[in-house]
Amino acid sequence: MTADRLHPVLGHHIVNSLGWRSLRPLQRDAVEPLLAGDDAVLLAPTAGGKTEAAMFPLLTAMEEKHWTGLSLLYVCPLKALLNNLEPRLDGYASWLGRRVAIWHGDVGATGRQRILSDPPDILLTTPESLEAMLVSTKVDQRRLFAGLRAVVVDEVHAFAGDDRGWHLLAVLERLSRVCGRPVQRVGLSATIGNPVELLTWLQGSGRGSRPATVVAPDAGSTATAVDTSGEVTSPPISVELDHVGSVDNAAAVLAALHRGEKRLVFCDSRALVEKLGAALRERGITTFLSHASLSTDERRRAETAFAEARDCVIVSTSTLELGIDVGDLDRVVQINTPMTVASFLQRLGRTGRRAGSARNCLFLALDERSLLWAAGLLRLWGTGYVEPVTAPPEPRHIVAQQLLALCLQEGTVGHRLWTGEWNGLAPFDLSAEPIVAHLLAESFVEADGEMMFIGPRAEERFGRRHFMGMTAVFTAPPQFTVFEGRREIGLTDPSLLTDKIEGPRLLLLAGRSWRVTWIDWTRKRCYVEAVDRGGRARWHTGGAGGAGFALSRSVRQVLLGEDPPVRMTARAEKVLADVRAAEMSTVHPGGPVIAGRGADLRWWTWAGYRANATLAATLGGLSDGVQRFDDTSIRLRGDLTVELWRDGTADAAQRLCLPEIDDRALEGLKFSEALPRRLAVATLAARLADLDGAATVLAEHTRFVRVAW
């Protein structure tokens, strides 16, 4: 053992119970800063031992500093990840006579009451459950959290990149007020491009005033493997790119390749998971499915069976991208492509965990576009690039949610004292006064003298089920729950129950075909019975989405002739050559291209969705008002001339505009009705913009190709 500072009982069990001869580099380097009370981000590839790197020093601190009661929170983005971690963390804690409990949406009233009556030393939970505890009248928050000293945020990069991260930061600030002290914050992250900025973000109001350390001894590596003694090795990496052309062909390839091995297949949508799962089962392959619209029991059964099986396939969306343990994998297969290098690294990291094994990923592209973008992603990966994690700008709707939640938590809040509840953390500070004024004006909040309290409109809008709608900051689209008898299978989009069809109404869910027998419209339930085959799968997906600047530019470089540093099959090489020939007029090594004729004239920027949204707004009358932009291009007016272009773009870099926002987009911004409309629109516009990418494009020389003037 190299970490003499750990509690001797932990050291004994690490050697004798785990059988490790030494700690991994991350675990060794994390000991001193965490014992010193530093805020920290622990950075390592998947399976790099991050959980132990955080827990061993914090368990040591728990003993040495005599922490009592609930002193440590372990926060995860997924309930399934918490369920997966509980037995492991409970084992570590039990070595020191400490207890672990879990609290999330699937934990019943009895389990929660047990925690409240006799709090554990460590609580595993989600931000939404923490919010629910803070606003609940059944929880004595000050008693429960009186001994809180530290919080571990697992997969912190998954929080920081969206509004759940802002929600988590705000909740942590309120928790520090409840317990009466700053709380040590430790984030666990896979490889990212900006760990220092991520740690600064995680510190919240403590940034600049609390010691902070990034621990990343393996940050330059994309893979680690550990043998039974705990020794770290670097397995080889094998990545292959193929073009198969259809879901049926993908199923045929998967059925023929790697028989006898355990394969994890990632898809970019729930519907594709269902289609591929059904196609694999038709070919006699033992197949399991995992995605967010399957019931908890259905997912848990699939993941448990997959972990215990050998010759099988599990098909998943990104739900299995994070650190949920599904046993030792032999192969990872990617259908089409993820949209970030970071996501690819997470998926690649699910393999190669056994000594002597290789990290591997097989890409199967279903169409030409997917092949091109997979090649672009793999080229970008080959350069060593990993996306920075950036919090969404201007989270005004989260500020509104937090103000309402504070009123629920405290009952009444001083009109001049509310800003202190977040310890000065922007934007939950005086800059939020226009939002407070709107909440008061619209009766979301009411005032009696100097005190504010929850108003009738908030009760009407968010008060159902004890304000449970207040605890989550994301909007879930309406779905119907599907039952076979009393067994819940999952959720389906209501449009599949209302489409005009001939014959029986068939659904595809959990990789099986079902005939709808009855629909309970009031309770949003759908009852089914199993049939042999057929059916459709569909789910509404909100949000603009789109590729980023770096990936889009990498795809452009592939079109210009650069190949990714991976093995490509002969058919992939042929299809990629055909795509390059077809797209020849859209790329030039010297800069963007304007190409086309008449009404179909486009500015091929290859700059990504957000940069093109910014450029389209800035161009004004030069762009076409119909189908104006996508990831790769902006549609221009058909009568554009070189002179009009030069005049219209001469000062464009100095007057960049935020993208225009459709009213329908506001529906996807939860709590937007608690904001003045102009602030809600401004929030969405700032999030859709990429000013740096747009400025980069405008600084380049645009060429006109094959345009008839």
Q: What pLDDT is stored for residue 501 in this prediction?
A: 85
Confidence of residue 221 (pLDDT cuts 50, 70, 90): very low
Question: Could you confirm whether domain 235-382 is CATH 2.30.30.100?
Answer: no
pLDDT at residue number 354: 66
Instruction: Please name the residue that has the structure tokens 């499915």.
Output: 289
Q: Which residues lie closer than 8 Å to 85 by C-beta, 6 or more apart?
A: 51, 74, 76, 124, 154
- Say whether the peptide bond before residue 45 is cis (omega within 30 degrees of 0): no
Kindly indicate the confidence band of residue 227, based on its pLDDT and cuts at 50, 70 and 90.
Answer: very low
Range scoring the smallest mean pLDDT among 235-239, 331-335, 488-492, 649-653: 235-239
Q: In this structure, what token pair is assigned to residue 89? A: 């963390």
CA–CA separation, 219 and 193 (whole Å):
10
CATH of the structural domain 396-470, one choice from 1.10.287, 1.20.81, 1.10.132, 1.10.10: 1.10.10
Q: How confident is the model at residue 473 (pLDDT cuts 50, 70, 90)?
A: confident
Question: Who wins on pLDDT, 323 or 275?
Answer: 275
pLDDT band at 398 (very low <50, low <70, confident <90, very high): very high
Fold designation for 8-222: Rossmann fold (3.40.50)
pLDDT for res 90:
97
148 contacts 184 by C-beta, under 8 angstroms: no
The CATH 3.40.50.300 domain(s) of the chain lie at: 8-222, 235-382
529-579 pLDDT, tens digit per residue, is: 999 989 999 887 655 568 999 999 999 999 999 999 999 999 999 999 999
What local confidence, expressed as pLDDT, does residue 464 receive? 66
What was the pLDDT predicted at 224?
39
Residue 34 pLDDT: 97
Of 274 and 544, the one with more pLDDT: 274
Half-sphere exposure of 346 (CA within 13 A, CB side): 23
Task: State how far Cα 93 lies from the chain centre.
Answer: 29
Given a cut of 70, whether residue 308 has pLDDT beyond it is: yes
Please tell me the predicted confidence (pLDDT) of residue 411. Answer: 93
H or E element at residue 445: strand 445-448
Higher pLDDT, 302 or 242: 242
| Joined tokens for residue 352 | 């190669």
Please give the mean pLDDT across all residues of the chain: 90
Q: Identify the top-confidence range among 322-331, 346-355, 399-408, 409-418.
A: 399-408
Residue 499: predicted pLDDT: 83
> What average pLDDT does range 19-44 have in this prediction?
95
Residues with Cβ within 8 Å of residue 628, at least 6 apart in sequence = 616, 634, 635
Rounded Cα gap, residues 575 and 479, in angstroms: 39
pLDDT (0 to 100) of residue 292 = 86
Q: Check whether 203 has a pLDDT greater than 90.
A: yes
Q: Using the predicted structure, report yes or no on whether residue 348 has a pLDDT greater than 60.
A: yes
pLDDT in the model for residue 286 = 92
Listed range (198-207, 352-361, 432-441, 511-520) with the worst mean pLDDT = 352-361
What's the whole-number mean pLDDT along residues 38-44? 95
Global pTM value:
0.89
Residue range(s) of every CATH 1.10.10 domain in the chain: 396-470
Burial 126-157 (b: 16+ CB within 10 A, else e): bbbbbbbbbbbeebebeebbbbbbbbbbbbbb
Residue pLDDT, tens place only, 48-90: 789 999 999 999 999 999 999 999 999 999 888 898 899 999 9
Return d(Cα 556, Cα 650) in angstroms, integer: 25
Mean pLDDT of 221-229: 39
pLDDT tens digits, residue range 119-153?
Answer: 999 999 999 999 999 999 999 999 999 999 999 99
Average pLDDT over residues 327-353: 88
pLDDT over 80 (residue 233): no
Cα separations in angstroms, 465 against 89, 177, 439, 469: 32, 26, 22, 8
What whole-number distance in Å separates Cα of residue 47 and Cα of residue 29?
Answer: 16
Confidence check: pLDDT of 229 > 60: no
Output the pLDDT for position 640: 86
Phi, then psi, of 331 in degrees rounded to 5: -140, 145
Alpha-carbon distance of 83 to 399, in angstroms, equals 30
pLDDT tens-digit map of 692-701: 999 999 999 9
Percent of the chain with pLDDT strictly greater than 70: 93
Span 306-320, average pLDDT:
86
Predicted local confidence at residue 408, as pLDDT: 92
